[in-house]
Copies of this chain bind each other. A is one copy, B any other.
Amino acid sequence: MLATVIHAARDIRLEEAPDPRLSGTGRDAIVRVVAACICGSDLWPYRGVVDTDEPHRIGHEFVGVVEQVGDAVTRVRRGDFVIAPFYDCDMTCAHCQNGVSPSCQNGNWWGRDDRDGHLADGAQGEFVRVPTADGSLTVVPGPVDDAMVPHLLALSDVMGTGWHAAVSAGVSPGSTAVVVGDGAVGLCGVIAARQLGAARIIAMSRHADRQALARAFGATAVVAERGDDGIAAIMALTDGVGADAVLECVGTAESMDQAIRAARPGGRVGYVGVPHGGAELPIRSLFSRNVGVAGGIAPVRNYVDALLPLVLDGTIQPGRVFDREVPLADVAEGYRLMDEREAIKVLLRP
C-alpha cells in the first residue's frame, strides 16, 4: 500500500509500505482509509520544531471502512464505516472508564508499535491496522453520504478536541467564552461553546476567512488584536470583568498568557494546544485571581458518542474546517498548504 513517511523537516513522502495484516492478537482490525487529514501538531516535526531522528509513518486522524477483524472483535464488523480517535484505546480500563481514554492503560499512538510489538500504521495511508478495534472504533450507522465524510472525520480529532477545551474551561449556559486560536481546533471550540450554551463567544482571530467561519459557527464577536491590545479588547467587551471560560487552542506561551489574562477572577482556562516552548504555568497570577487551568490530550473517543448524533442530524458541521481537499498522492502539497496557512485544514483522500 501507499503511506506517508516523514524523513526530516519539510521532507514528506508517499511511499510503498507493507500492507497491514491482522497480528494474531484477535483484537485488531484492518481499516481501509476513506479520508485522513493533516493536523496542526503534524506541523511541529514538519517545521523542525520537533526533531525527526529517523523516518517514520505519520498521521493520526482517519475514517474508513473495516476490511478485516480479529477473532475476538465483537463490536465492529467487516464493511462498517468507522471513526477512529487519534489514539488507540480499549475503553475498558480504569482511565478509559473515567473518561480519559488517551491515558488508556493499554493504549497506543498511531505510527508506533503497539503493546504486542506490532506496528499500528500512521493514518495518512491507504490502510491502518487498529490494535484494539472494539475500543477505538465507533461505527457510523447506515450508508454514509460522501458529503458527511468531512464532518465524521472531524470527530477523529479536532471536533472532540475543541469540545474538550470547552468542557475543561467549564463553559455553561449563559456564560461568556473566549476562544484563543483560530485553527481548526479553535473553530471547533466555537462550535462546542455554542452547543454548551455560552451566551457570548469571542473569537480571537486575525484572518478574514477564519473570522467568517467563527461567526458562522456561533462567535458573537471577533477580536483581531493580540497581547495587551487583545486583552484590552476582551475587557472592553466584558465590562472590565473578563471571561468566565477561555479555550486555549494553540499551545504557545503567548497564547496561554492571552488565555489566562482573558479570564475573569474565578474563571477557567481549558487548554488543548500541545504545550510548546519553555514556559510553565504562572502559579502566582493564577492563585491571586483564582483562575483554574484544565485540559490536556483530548479524550475524543469518550466524546464521540455524544457528538456523532449532532453531526448526523446536521446540528453541527465541523467538517467545514476542511477548506482544502487533496489526493493522498499530493500529501506533501497538503503539508505545504497547512504550513503556509493557505489552508485551515487539509483533507486527504487515498
CB-nearest residue of chain B to A291? B296
Complex alpha-carbon distance, A241 and B274, angstroms: 24
A199 to chain B, nearest CB (A): 15
Q: Is A94 an interface residue (CB 8 A)?
A: yes
Interface residues of A in 113-137 (CB under 8 A from B): none
Asked, given contacts A239-B94, A241-B95, whether A294 binds B294 with beta carbons under 8 Å apart, the answer is: yes
Interface residues of A in 258-292 (CB under 8 A from B): 264-266, 268, 271, 274-275, 279-284, 286-292
Interface size class of A (residues with CB under 8 A): 35 or more
Identify which of A29-37, A97-105, A311-319 touches chain B. Answer: A97-105
Asked, given contacts A95-B241, A98-B266, whether A283 binds B279 with beta carbons under 8 Å apart, the answer is: yes
A86 to chain B, nearest CB (A): 14
Of A102, A265, A288, most B-chain CB atoms within 10 Å: A265
Residue from B265, B275, B288 within 8 A of A95 (CB atoms): B265
Asked if A286 and B290 make an inter-chain contact with CB atoms under 8 angstroms apart, the answer reads no
Interface residues of A in 222-271 (CB under 8 A from B): 239, 241, 244, 256, 264-266, 268, 271
Asked if A95 and B287 make an inter-chain contact with CB atoms under 8 angstroms apart, the answer reads no
CB-nearest residue of chain B to A244? B98
Complex alpha-carbon distance, A9 and B112, angstroms: 58
Complex alpha-carbon distance, A290 and B274, angstroms: 12
Q: Is A2 an interface residue (CB 8 A)?
A: no
Asked, given contacts A95-B241, A268-B294, A294-B268, whether A283 binds B288 with beta carbons under 8 Å apart, the answer is: no
Residue from B100, B264, B265 within 8 A of A265 (CB atoms): B100
Q: Is A295 an interface residue (CB 8 A)?
A: yes
CB-nearest residue of chain B to A290? B296
Asked if A287 and B266 make an inter-chain contact with CB atoms under 8 angstroms apart, the answer reads no
Asked if B296 and A98 make an inter-chain contact with CB atoms under 8 angstroms apart, the answer reads no
Q: Is A161 an interface residue (CB 8 A)?
A: no
